[in-house]
A and B are shown apart, each in its own frame.
Chain A
Amino acid sequence: MPEAPAGTLYRGREGMWSWVAHRVTGFLIFFFLLVHVADTSLVRVSPEAYNAVIGAYKNPIMGLAEAGLVAAIVFHAFNGIRVMLVDFWSSGPRYQRVMLWIVLGLVVVTMAAFLPRHLMNVFGGGH
């Protein structure tokens, strides 16, 4: 494959992979949201119906899925800010690669703050 001409972002390497990841996470979050609004609507059926369905979110497998969902949101959100900086900040395109590493660093820090608390809630010991 020929070398990408200088200055383009979306040809292989970090610029392209971050775009793929942004797309995949956005797509997944959208489908989660459809299901999420549907099961929240059970509060209009009865307290028992809502509690039964939300109870399914409290087992360890779902607990891990929630951790994955949060990771997807956090990446999509921080990378979204990076995309905006590339678009609107005059030096953005020059720093797009550095900013991707900053995004990944912020994702790690945010998850480090979130995971212990959440996993304790999910696997007991937290209460």
Chain B
Amino acid sequence: MSETTAAPELAAPRAPRNRRSTRTNYELYGWLFMRASGVLLLVLIFGHLYMNLMVGDGINAIDFAFVGGKWSSPLWQTWDLLMLWLAMIHGTNGVRTIINDYAERVGTRVVLKSALYLAFTITVVLGTLVIFTFEPCPAGADPELLASICFP
């Protein structure tokens, strides 16, 4: 703290400012997206937690048959799909900001962000496929483990 540091270079007073530091508005869109998605996520996640933890036996009721019952309804399929995409984009963008703030070396940033985008891609693709290819009543499965909708 005792050594003197060179004074930062300051622009002359009232010098015209070149305010454009980037060529695009992507950071602004990201900032807006964090807010818009946040509002939707509040509804989606609170609904998810209410249905899965509060109704009936809560966590104890969750098993394959429970998921089978929920995902045979287009409402919950759409709900979970939206929640998956919004939470993953919101969370990935948020973690990207955190990496930018703390990882100072360019190499570290590249490595961490590559890992982040890889995790994003795998999770979104996997989660989407699972919702669309889910089979609530797989042939040959133990009937004890299936939802009631499998036995009309």
Does A37 lie within 8 Å of B127, measured CB to CB? yes
Are the C-beta atoms of B59 and A118 separated by less than 8 Å? Answer: yes
Which residues in chain B, 132-152, are within 8 Å of chain A measured between CB atoms? 133-134, 138, 141-142, 145-146
Q: Check: B94 CB closer than 8 A to any chain A CB.
A: yes
Contact of A34 with B by CB under 8 A: yes
Q: Are B87 and A33 in contact (CB under 8 A)?
A: yes
Q: Chain A contacts of B123 at CB under 8 A?
A: 33-34, 37-38
Q: Does A4 contact B (CB under 8 A)?
A: no
Interface residue? B126 (CB, 8 A): yes
In the bound assembly, the distance between CA atoms of A127 and B61 in angstroms comes to: 11
Interface string of B16-53 (1 = CB under 8 A from A): 00000000000000000001001101100110010001
Task: Tell me if A10 is interfacial: C-beta within 8 Å of chain B.
Answer: no
Q: Which residue of B lies closest to A62 (CB)?
A: B59
How many chain B residues sit at the interface, stated as a range, is 35 or more
Contact with B along A63-85 (1 / 0, CB 8 A): 10010001001000100110110
CB distance A23 to B98 under 8 Å? yes
Contact B64 A118 (CB under 8 A): no
**Contact A77-B126, Cβ < 8 Å, known A30-B91, A44-B133, A47-B141:** no
Q: Does A95 contact B (CB under 8 A)?
A: no
- Which residues does chain A contribute within 8 Å of B94, judged by CB atoms? 26-27, 30
B53 touches A33 (CB 8 A): no
Q: 9 A-B contacts, Cβ less than 8 Å apart?
A: A41-B130, A44-B133, A46-B138, A47-B63, A57-B59, A66-B53, A77-B45, A80-B42, A126-B57
Closest 5 CB pairs between A and B? Answer: A47-B64, A121-B58, A30-B91, A47-B145, A37-B127
Chain A residues proximal to chain B, CB less than 8 Å? 23, 26-27, 29-30, 33-34, 37-38, 40-41, 43-44, 46-48, 50-51, 54, 57-58, 63, 66, 70, 73, 77, 80-81, 83-84, 87-88, 114, 117-118, 121-122, 126-127
